[in-house]
Chain A
Amino acid sequence: MNPRPKRKTVDPSVRDAAEIYDDRSSYADVADRISGLVLSPTRRGWIIGFIGAVAMLALLKYSLYRLFNDGIGIWGINVPVGWGFAIINFVWWVGIGHAGTFISAILLLLHQKWRTSINRFAEAMTLFAVACAGLFPLLHVGRPDRAYWLFPYPNTMDIWPQFRSPLLWDVFAVSTYATVSFLFWFVGLIPDLACMRDRAKNQVVKTIYAVISLGWRGSARHWERYEKAYKVLAGLAAPLVISVHTIVGFDFAVSVIPGWHATIFPPYFVAGAIFSGFAMVVTLSIPIRKIYRLEGYITDKHMDNMAKVMLVTGMIVTYGYAMEAFMGWYSASQYEGFMIWNRMTGPYAPFYWALIACNAIIPQLLWSPKLRKNMLVLFIISLVVNTGMWLERFIIVVTSLHRDYLPSSWGMYTPTVWDWTTYIGSIGLFLFLTLMFIRIMPIIAISELQHLAHERKHNRIDHDQESIR
Chain B
Amino acid sequence: MAKKKMTIQQIRAKLQNRQGEKFWRSLDELAETEEFNQFLQEEYPHGSAPMTAKEDLSRRDFLKLMGASLVMTMLPGCSRQPLEKIVPYVTAPEEIIPGKPLYFATSMPFNGSSTGLLVESHMGRPTKIEGNPEHVDSLGATSAIHQSAVLGLYDPDRSNQVLKDGQADSINNLYRFLRKELKDSEGKGVRILTDRIVSPTLASQIRQVIKAFPGIKWHQHEAIHSDDARRAQQMVFGEYVDPIYDFKRARTILALDSNFMDNQPGHLRYTREFTARRRVVDSDVNQMNRLYAIESSPTMTGANADHLMAKNSYRMTLMVCALAQQIGVKFPAIVDGKLSNEEIKWVHVVAEDLIKHRGESLVIAGDRAPQWVQALAHSMNARLDNVSRTVNYIQPVASNPQLLQESISDLSQAMEKGDVNTLIMLNTNPVYTTARELSFETHLGKVSNTVHFGLYRDETAMACQWHVPSMHFLEMFSDGRASDGTVTMMQPLIHPLYNGISVHEFLHGLISADAKTAHDIVRDYWKSTSKTVDFELVWRKALHDGFVARTAFKPKKVQMRVEFAADDLGKLNRPSSTKADQIEVVINPDPAVWDGRFANNGWLQELPKPLTKITWDNALLVSPATAEKYKLENEDMVEVSNGKVRVSLPVWIVPGHCAQSVSAYLGYGRKHSGALGNDKGFNVTKLQTAEHQWRLSGATISKLGIKYGLASTQIHHSMHGRELVRSASLDEYKHHPDFAHAHAHGTQGYELSMYPQHPDRAPHQWGMTVNLNQCVGCNACVTACQSENNTPVVGKEEVRRGREMHWIRVDNYYEGEIDQPTTHHQPVMCMHCENAPCEPVCPVQATGHSDEGLNEMTYNRCVGTRYCSNNCPYKVRRFNFFQYADKHSEPAKLRSNPDVTVRNRGVMEKCTFCVQRINQARITAKKENRDIKDGEVVTACQAVCPAEAISFGNIRDPQSEVSRLKESPLNYGLLTELNTFPRLSYLARVRNPNPKLETHKPKAAHVTVHDHSEHGGGKH
- Take A72-B864, A167-B843, A408-B812 as given contacts and tell me if A83 and B873 are in contact as well, using a CB distance cutoff of 8 Å: no
Contacts of A140 in B (CB 8 A): 865
Contacts of A168 in B (CB 8 A): 843
The residue in chain B whose Cβ has the minimal distance to the Cβ of A150 is B843
Size range of the interface on B?
35 or more
Contacts of B803 in A (CB 8 A): 73, 78-79
Q: Are A142 and B861 in contact (CB under 8 A)?
A: no
- Among A76, A254, A347, A408, the residue within 8 A (CB) of B714 is A408
Number of A interface residues in the complex (CB < 8 A): 51
- Take A79-B877, A142-B864 as given contacts and tell me if A171 and B843 are in contact as well, using a CB distance cutoff of 8 Å: yes
Q: Is the interface of A mostly helix, strand, loop or mixed?
A: loop
Question: Does A162 interact with chain B (Cβ within 8 Å)?
Answer: yes
Q: Are B841 and A412 in contact (CB under 8 A)?
A: no
- Among B715, B798, B906, B978, the residue within 8 A (CB) of A143 is B906
Q: Are B813 and A165 in contact (CB under 8 A)?
A: no
Question: Does A62 interact with chain B (Cβ within 8 Å)?
Answer: no
- How many A-B residue pairs have C-beta atoms within 8 angstroms? Tell me: 171
Q: Are B863 and A73 in contact (CB under 8 A)?
A: no
Q: Are B719 and A141 in contact (CB under 8 A)?
A: no
Contacts of A80 in B (CB 8 A): 802, 869-870, 875
Question: Does B724 interact with chain A (Cβ within 8 Å)?
Answer: yes
Q: Are A82 and B867 in contact (CB under 8 A)?
A: yes
- Take A73-B803, A80-B802, A141-B906 as given contacts and tell me if A408 and B809 are in contact as well, using a CB distance cutoff of 8 Å: yes
Contacts of B813 in A (CB 8 A): 407-408
Residues 380-412 (chain A) with a chain B CB within 8 angstroms: 401, 403-412
Which residue, B837, B863, B1020, has most C-beta atoms of chain A within 10 A? B863
The residue in chain B whose Cβ has the minimal distance to the Cβ of A408 is B811
Contacts of A143 in B (CB 8 A): 862-864, 904-907
In the complex, per-residue mask of A165-202: 1 if CB is within 8 Å of any chain B CB, else 0: 11110010000000000000000000000000000000
The residue in chain B whose Cβ has the minimal distance to the Cβ of A159 is B845
- Give, as a whole number of angstroms, the nearest-CB distance from B808 to chain A: 12
Question: Does A255 interact with chain B (Cβ within 8 Å)?
Answer: yes
Q: Are A78 and B719 in contact (CB under 8 A)?
A: no
Contacts of A257 in B (CB 8 A): 870-871, 873
The residue in chain B whose Cβ has the minimal distance to the Cβ of A347 is B1014
Contacts of B717 in A (CB 8 A): 407-408
The residue in chain B whose Cβ has the minimal distance to the Cβ of A252 is B870
Question: Does A112 interact with chain B (Cβ within 8 Å)?
Answer: no
- Give, as a whole number of angstroms, the nearest-CB distance from B60 to chain A: 30
Contacts of A161 in B (CB 8 A): 843-845
Contacts of A159 in B (CB 8 A): 844-845, 861
Question: Does A36 interact with chain B (Cβ within 8 Å)?
Answer: no
Question: Does A358 interact with chain B (Cβ within 8 Å)?
Answer: no
Question: Does B337 interact with chain A (Cβ within 8 Å)?
Answer: no
Contacts of A458 in B (CB 8 A): none
Contacts of A408 in B (CB 8 A): 714, 716-717, 809, 811-813, 826, 828
Contacts of A334 in B (CB 8 A): 720-722
Q: Are A71 and B881 in contact (CB under 8 A)?
A: yes
- Take A256-B837, A334-B721 as given contacts and tell me if A82 and B879 are in contact as well, using a CB distance cutoff of 8 Å: yes
- Among A83, A146, A405, the residue within 8 A (CB) of B866 is A83
- Give, as a whole number of angstroms, the nearest-CB distance from A67 to chain B: 11
In the complex, per-residue mask of A68-87: 1 if CB is within 8 Å of any chain B CB, else 0: 00111100111111110000
The residue in chain A whose Cβ has the minimal distance to the Cβ of B876 is A409
Which residue, B812, B882, B1018, has most C-beta atoms of chain A within 10 A? B882
- Give, as a whole number of angstroms, the nearest-CB distance from B123 to chain A: 31
Q: In the bound complex, what is the Cα–Cα distance between A164 and B1018 (angstroms)?
A: 35
Question: Does B16 interact with chain A (Cβ within 8 Å)?
Answer: no
Q: Are A401 and B870 in contact (CB under 8 A)?
A: yes
Contacts of B844 in A (CB 8 A): 149-150, 159, 161-162
Residues 58-110 (chain A) with a chain B CB within 8 angstroms: 70-73, 76-83
Q: Are B866 and A77 in contact (CB under 8 A)?
A: yes
Q: In the bound complex, what is the Cα–Cα distance between A401 and B801 (angstroms)?
A: 15
- Give, as a whole number of angstroms, the nearest-CB distance from B1020 to chain A: 5
Residues 416-471 (chain B) with a chain A CB within 8 angstroms: none
Question: Does B840 interact with chain A (Cβ within 8 Å)?
Answer: yes
Q: In the bound complex, what is the Cα–Cα distance between A334 and B867 (angstroms)?
A: 23
Contacts of A72 in B (CB 8 A): 864, 881, 906
Q: In the bound complex, what is the Cα–Cα distance between A147 and B843 (angstroms)?
A: 10
The residue in chain A whose Cβ has the minimal distance to the Cβ of B873 is A405
- Among A167, A251, A406, the residue within 8 A (CB) of B875 is A406
Contacts of B877 in A (CB 8 A): 79
In the complex, per-residue mask of A321-350: 1 if CB is within 8 Å of any chain B CB, else 0: 000000000000011001000000001000
Q: Are B873 and A406 in contact (CB under 8 A)?
A: yes
In the complex, per-residue mask of A247-271: 1 if CB is within 8 Å of any chain B CB, else 0: 0000100111100000000000000
Q: Are A410 and B716 in contact (CB under 8 A)?
A: yes
Question: Does A374 interact with chain B (Cβ within 8 Å)?
Answer: no
Q: Are A71 and B721 in contact (CB under 8 A)?
A: no
Residues 867-926 (chain B) with a chain A CB within 8 angstroms: 867, 869-871, 873-875, 877-883, 904-908
The residue in chain B whose Cβ has the minimal distance to the Cβ of A162 is B845
Q: In the bound complex, what is the Cα–Cα distance between A256 and B862 (angstroms)?
A: 21
- Among A146, A150, A165, A409, the residue within 8 A (CB) of B841 is A165
The residue in chain B whose Cβ has the minimal distance to the Cβ of A410 is B716
Q: Are B870 and A167 in contact (CB under 8 A)?
A: no
Q: Are B1020 and A255 in contact (CB under 8 A)?
A: no
Question: Does B842 interact with chain A (Cβ within 8 Å)?
Answer: yes
Q: In the bound complex, what is the Cα–Cα distance between A72 and B866 (angstroms)?
A: 11
Contacts of B413 in A (CB 8 A): none
- Give, as a whole number of angstroms, the nearest-CB distance from B559 to chain A: 51
Q: Are B801 and A76 in contact (CB under 8 A)?
A: yes
Q: Are A166 and B841 in contact (CB under 8 A)?
A: yes
- Take A82-B879, A406-B811, A408-B716 as given contacts and tell me if A147 and B863 are in contact as well, using a CB distance cutoff of 8 Å: yes
Q: Are A150 and B881 in contact (CB under 8 A)?
A: no
The residue in chain B whose Cβ has the minimal distance to the Cβ of A405 is B873
The residue in chain A whose Cβ has the minimal distance to the Cβ of B858 is A159
Question: Does A25 interact with chain B (Cβ within 8 Å)?
Answer: no
- Among B715, B837, B879, the residue within 8 A (CB) of A142 is B879
The residue in chain B whose Cβ has the minimal distance to the Cβ of A402 is B1019
Question: Does A26 interact with chain B (Cβ within 8 Å)?
Answer: no
In the complex, per-residue mask of B989-1020: 1 if CB is within 8 Å of any chain A CB, else 0: 00000000000000000000000001000111
Question: Does A305 interact with chain B (Cβ within 8 Å)?
Answer: no
Question: Does B388 interact with chain A (Cβ within 8 Å)?
Answer: no
Q: Are A162 and B840 in contact (CB under 8 A)?
A: yes
Contacts of B880 in A (CB 8 A): 71, 142
List 19 extra interface pairs beyond A142-B863, A164-B841, CB under 8 A.
A71-B906, A72-B864, A72-B881, A73-B882, A80-B869, A82-B879, A83-B866, A141-B864, A143-B906, A162-B842, A167-B843, A168-B843, A255-B871, A404-B873, A406-B974, A407-B722, A408-B809, A410-B715, A411-B1019
Partner-A contacts on B (CB < 8 A): 714-722, 724, 798, 801-803, 809, 811-813, 826, 828, 837, 840-845, 861-867, 869-871, 873-875, 877-883, 904-908, 974-975, 978, 1014, 1018-1020
Pairs A–B under 8 Å by Cβ, sample size 17: A71-B906, A78-B801, A78-B881, A143-B864, A143-B906, A159-B861, A160-B845, A162-B843, A162-B845, A254-B841, A255-B871, A257-B873, A405-B975, A406-B811, A410-B715, A411-B802, A412-B802
Q: Across chains A and B, which 8 residue pairs bring their CB atoms closest together, nearest first? A: A142-B864, A142-B906, A73-B881, A78-B802, A82-B866, A411-B1019, A409-B875, A408-B811
Partner-B contacts on A (CB < 8 A): 70-73, 76-83, 140-143, 146-147, 149-150, 159-162, 164-168, 171, 251, 254-257, 334-335, 338, 347, 401, 403-412, 414
